[in-house]
Each structure stands twice: as structure tokens, then as C-alpha cells.
């Protein structure tokens, strides 16, 4: 605690990350404090937040509750704690990151909120989303339905919930991850979508793939392979299934082989991968791999491991 006594009352930033602290004293006498990083400690209690704070990072502690938010707060990070609830957020708040807690219900959210990650909690329902929200991560909760999504949304991650029906996906959405739910139907996808993950649902029919789509993963559904056109598959950077039909599998293999054989100099530069089912012995360990500088067909790669989807922020 002697550290705080050495600080000027005019200090604008306090960084006490990873100091093993169990208690945070009142910081109200710091009249110009704008940024507080008290992450990765052992804090169980915080007395107050100075009203001047614009940035707070208290992730990686043991907090069960927190004081009211400062009126000018813009960014709040409190992931990996034991929080059961949050105070109402001020309308200045833009970013809210509170994954891996015990939150059951979201507070009143800032109308200016743009980024929110509250994955790995106990949230059952959400009344509405802020109108300017761009990044939404709700994975691994117990949500059964969603309200209308804002037109501003860019990334939607609602994986590992109990959702059976999706609301309309806004046109500006680039990333949609709805894997591991109970979704039975997706009528359409936004034209600008670039990543689509819908594996482990109850889908029997699939919408048309958008022209901009680069990553598609739809395995482990009752009918995981709709009759995609081969050019649709060829343009993708990553295309993953684990149940190919014997009827369609050879067509894909022949198509890519012909592309490699006849168009070595003018192939697409994107990465294209096709994984064949381990349930079909004569396709096991066969894949097709195209990328800039590596244009070849491999038939003998042992135990191929799929590449993970692009890891975007949050």
C-alpha cells in the first residue's frame, strides 16, 4: 500500500497489474485519474472507482461485486472473476469485457456500446441490444432466444447456447458463429458475410453461400452437406466437414485435380482445404491444399489437422 502514498494526486494512470494485491484502497483522492489497471491480482473487494476514470481493467481477480461505474467510463474489463451482477453502465461506455464470471442478467447497457464480450456466464435472456453494437460475443451461456440484432453489428458469436431460431442477421455482419445450439433452419445469410460457423446444430437445409464467404464450417448436422456447387467450395479459404457422401466426394476430388493439372499458372491465390471423412476408408487422410506457392494435391498426409478459424479480437 506504500506505493499509493508515493503517487501524486494529479496522476492520470495507475498500473498495479500482477502485484498480488488482495485489497484496493480508496482512490478518490486522485482527482485526475483516467486509467486503472489492477488486473491479475487477488482482489476480493474494491471500495470505489474515482469518477474521473475512463478505463478500468480488473480482470483476473476474485471479485464477486463491484462499486458503481464512473460517469465517464469508456472501457471496462473484468473477465475471469466471480461477478454475479454488474451495475448499470453509463452512456459513455464503448467496450464491456466480462467473460468467465457468474453473471445471470445483464444490466442496463450504454446506448453507445460497440463491443461486448460476456461469454462463459449464466445469462438466460437479453431484452435488447444497444443500437451501435459492432462486436457481440455471448458464447457458452444458457440463452434460448435473441432480440433483434442492431444494423451496426459486425461480429456475432453466440456459440454454445440453447438457441433454436436465429433473428434476421444484419447486412453488415462479417462473422457469424452459431455452433453448438439447437438451430433447425437458417433462411438466409448477409451478402457481406466472410466467416460462417454452424456446426453441431440440427440443420437440414442450408442457405446460399454469400460471394464474400471465405471460411465455412458446418459439420455434425443431420444433413451436413447440401449440394454446394464446386465453384462455391473452390473460392473458400477454409471448408470443413467430417461427413462427405460417397457420391459427392469423388466429384470434389476430380474437380480439384483438374484445376491443379490444367491451371497451374492461374489458380486462385486463396487457401483451399477439403477434409475427407475418416468414416470412408478410401478417403482417409486425403486432402487438397492450395495456396500461393504451394499448388499440389496430396493423397498421403497422415492424420491431417484442420487449421483453426482466424482468431479475431475477443
pLDDT tens digits, 159-178? 999 999 999 999 999 999 99
Give a yes or no: residue 153 inside a domain. no
Residue 236 has pLDDT above 50, yes or no: yes
| pLDDT (tens digit per residue) in 33-80 | 999 999 999 999 999 999 999 999 999 999 999 999 999 999 999 999
Count other C-beta atoms under 10 Å from residue 134's C-beta.
Answer: 18
Give a yes or no: residue 115 inside a domain. yes
Give a yes or no: residue 22 inside a domain. yes
pLDDT for 309? 28
pLDDT grade for 228, boundaries at 50, 70 and 90: low
Give a yes or no: residue 53 inside a domain. yes
Q: Which helix (H) or strand (E) holds 259?
A: helix 249-262
Q: What percent of the chain has pLDDT over 70?
A: 69
Contacts for 197 with CB less than 8 Å, ≥ 6 apart: 159, 176, 177, 178, 179, 215, 216, 217, 218, 309
Residue 221 has pLDDT above 80, yes or no: no
Residue 226 has pLDDT above 70, yes or no: no
Give a yes or no: residue 52 inside a domain. yes
Strands 272-275 and 287-291: antiparallel
Rounded Cα distance, 64 and 44, in Å: 7
For position 24, which CATH number holds? 3.80.10.10
Rounded Cα distance, 268 and 266, in Å: 7
Give a yes or no: residue 37 inside a domain. yes
Residue 147 has pLDDT above 70, yes or no: yes
Residue 252 has pLDDT above 70, yes or no: no
pLDDT for 276? 36
Give a yes or no: residue 197 inside a domain. no
Domain of 98, in residue numbers: 1-123
- Using an 8 Å Cβ cutoff, are 196 and 189 in contact? yes
pLDDT for 39? 97
Counted domains in the chain: 1
Give a yes or no: residue 10 inside a domain. yes
Q: Please tell me whether residue 250 adopts helix, strand or coil conformation.
A: helix
pLDDT for 280? 32
Residue 113 has pLDDT above 90, yes or no: yes
Average pLDDT along the chain:
78
Amino acid at each position: 500500500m506504500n506505493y499509493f502514498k508515493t503517487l501524486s494526486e494529479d496522476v492520470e494512470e495507475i498500473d498495479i497489474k500482477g502485484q498480488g494485491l488482495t485489497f484496493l484502497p480508496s482512490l478518490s483522492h486522485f482527482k485526475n485519474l483516467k486509467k486503472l489497471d489492477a488486473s491479475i491480482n487477488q482482489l476480493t473487494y474494491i471500495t470505489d472507482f474515482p469518477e474521473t476514470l475512463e478505463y478500468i481493467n480488473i480482470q483476473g481477480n476474485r471479485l464477486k461485486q463491484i462499486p458503481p461505474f464512473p460517469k465517464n467510463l469508456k472501457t471496462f474489463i473484468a473477465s475471469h472473476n466471480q461477478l454475479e451482477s454488474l451495475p448499470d453502465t453509463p452512456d459513455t461506455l464503448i467496450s464491456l469485457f466480462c467473460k468467465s464470471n457468474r453473471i445471470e442478467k445483464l444490466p442496463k447497457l450504454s446506448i453507445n456500446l460497440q463491443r461486448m464480450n460476456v461469454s462463459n456466464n449464466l445469462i438466460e435472456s437479453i431484452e435488447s441490444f444497444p443500437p451501435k453494437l459492432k462486436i457481440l460475443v455471448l458464447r457458452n451461456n444458457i440463452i434460448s432466444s435473441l432480440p433483434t440484432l442492431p444494423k451496426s453489428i459486425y461480429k456475432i458469436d453466440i456459440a454454445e447456447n440453447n438457441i433454436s431460431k436465429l433473428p434476421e442477421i444484419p447486412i453488415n455482419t462479417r462473422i457469424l458463429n452459431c455452433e453448438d445450439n439447437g438451430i433447425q433452419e437458417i433462411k438466409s445469410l448477409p451478402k457481406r458475410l466472410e466467416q460462417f460457423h454452424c456446426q453441431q446444430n440440427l440443420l437440414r437445409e442450408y442457405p446460399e453461400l454469400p460471394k464474400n464467404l471465405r471460411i465455412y464450417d458446418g459439420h455434425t448436422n443431420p444433413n451436413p452437406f447440401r449440394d454446394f456447387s464446386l465453384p462455391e467450395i473452390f473460392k473458400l479459404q477454409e471448408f470443413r466437414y467430417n461427413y462427405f457422401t460417397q457420391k459427392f466426394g469423388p466429384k470434389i476430388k476430380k474437380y480439384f485435380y483438374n484445376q491443379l493439372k490444367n491451371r497451374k499458372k492461374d489458380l486462385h491465390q486463396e487457401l483451399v482445404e477439403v477434409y475427407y471423412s475418416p468414416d470412408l476408408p478410401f478417403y482417409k487422410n486425403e486432402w487438397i491444399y492450395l495456396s500461393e506457392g504451394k499448388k499440389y494435391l496430396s493423397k498421403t498426409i497422415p492424420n491431417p489437422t484442420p487449421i483453426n478459424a482466424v482468431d479475431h479480437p475477443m
